[in-house]
Amino acid sequence: MTKSRPERRSWAEPYKIKMVERLKMTTPAQRKQAMETAGFNTFLLLSEDVYIDLLTDSGTSAMSDYQWAGMMMGDESYSGSQNFYNLEANIKKHYGYEYIIPTHQGRGAEHLLSKICIKPGDFVPGNMYFTTTRLHQELAGGTFVDIIVDEAHDPMNLNPFKGNVDLQKLEDLILRVGADKIPYVSVAATVNMAGGQPISMENLRAVHTYCQTHNIKIMLDATRAVENSYFIQQREVGYADKSVAEILKEFCSYTDGCTMSGKKDLLVNIGGFLAINDTKIYEEARNLVVVYEGMHTYGGLAGRDMEAMSRGIEEAVQDDHIRARVGQVEYLGDKLIEWGVPIVRPVGGHAVYLDAKMFLPHLTQDQFPAQTLAAELYIDSGVRSMERGIVSAGRDLKTGKHHYPKLELVRLTIPRRVYTQAHIDVTVESILDVFERREEISGLEMVYEPKYLRFFQSRFIRL
């Protein structure tokens, strides 16, 4: 009997490999020891003990020869570096904002924006929190309020735009606290903690119109806005024939500024920026950046870093690049769905998220199911993932109690242009093995907890 012919894939990665980095192969006994030494926290592993590193897509991309060539063109003058002007021009061209402040990475921009715009007692609504973003808002005296649509909290819900803002929730907040207590609405695209879910153009446009009537600004977390634009092209009526670059420009036009971690969409290992249209905020940021990051024409970056990010923008907005990037994530997600592994659906832009509550239903949230699953997966195959559940959610700074997020997830984050389809297949095989013996897996107890962003450094022992 002949097998039926597979469906034509018709595309592969729009690049070829010119240089490789060798990986160490480890035994299960070595990995068990390494995980115990790391206190069952994948952040605390030595990277040399990791085989396939899906901890994060942040700063882990492979740069192109075009970007590396740009690194050689670094103008390392203290001020007025040519690379800053190249970066500024590309941000203006593709994101459309008026003023640019480079920062060492995304949280540097969040720090400046929060310090300038948020007063103690303010409220900052957003489409789900992100760890560093919310912390900077809180440290500036603000209170984060989640206004994402309810569907975002349901891993099985197939809404194509689970990153959307629920305008009713925004209106309720304004009625409760008054528009003058809301410095801006914080809109992320895509929404990392919801599983890399996009927000639609229609929704952002509606938020923009609504915010204008209340004179409230919208600040975009543009970290993965290119991936968001790709989803709009694929899923939203009226955008199929537009390029990702065109969609991105329109998308940003409904916002007043953005914070950016260039370490994701923009294909660099370090770098970020704050971009803004408001002259007053810009002047304040231009002044403050000197205090916290460096001169306003480098903001904590070397000239070569700015050049790599500038060139990264040009590559990031290419349709064939972004299709292959998201295509690889979808490949992993589709395989896991095929085998009945519980993941957040639809598959997001930068990562596949295992639903640890469904995967390990015998563990309570206090036994850290996602932290447990991430540790187990590493021991099985050397695949490193990240907890995105109760540990990441941290404690309420006022009450000191754990936040209990509805989503208890393990993130398998795909670096850009780094791993092959075979690496993804190995990852799937390992997850299936762990899934098969899931009932034997016991939970964890936290034995060390730092005060801020505890997921980076906390330590656990097995129950």
Contacts with ligand PLI, residue ranges (CB under 6 A): 56, 58, 105-107, 130, 132-133, 188, 192, 221, 223, 261, 263, 272
Cα 269 to Cα 255: distance, rounded to the nearest angstrom: 26
- Our CB check for ligand PLI shows the closer of 224 and 323 to be 224
Asked if 264 and 350 count as a contact pair (C-beta separation under 8 A), the reply is yes
Return all residues near 175 (Cβ < 8 A) that are at least 6 apart: none
- Our CB check for ligand PLI shows the closer of 266 and 343 to be 266
Asked if 387 and 378 count as a contact pair (C-beta separation under 8 A), the reply is no
CB of 105 to ligand PLI, least distance (A): 3
Cα 360 to Cα 357: distance, rounded to the nearest angstrom: 6
Return all residues near 131 (Cβ < 8 A) that are at least 6 apart: 193, 392, 394, 453, 455
Cα 212 to Cα 210: distance, rounded to the nearest angstrom: 5
CB of 4 to ligand PLI, least distance (A): 40
Strands 386-388 and 409-413: antiparallel
- Our CB check for ligand PLI shows the closer of 174 and 377 to be 377
- Our CB check for ligand PLI shows the closer of 188 and 201 to be 188
CB of 95 to ligand PLI, least distance (A): 15
Determine the residue with CB nearest ligand PLI.
Answer: 106
- Our CB check for ligand PLI shows the closer of 174 and 226 to be 226
CB of 85 to ligand PLI, least distance (A): 23
Helix (H) / strand (E) element for 213: namely helix 201-214
CB of 175 to ligand PLI, least distance (A): 28
Q: Which residues are catalytic?
A: 78, 130-131, 221, 264, 388, 455
Q: Is the dihedral of CA 271, 387, 394, 258 positive or negative?
A: positive
Cα 94 to Cα 99: distance, rounded to the nearest angstrom: 13
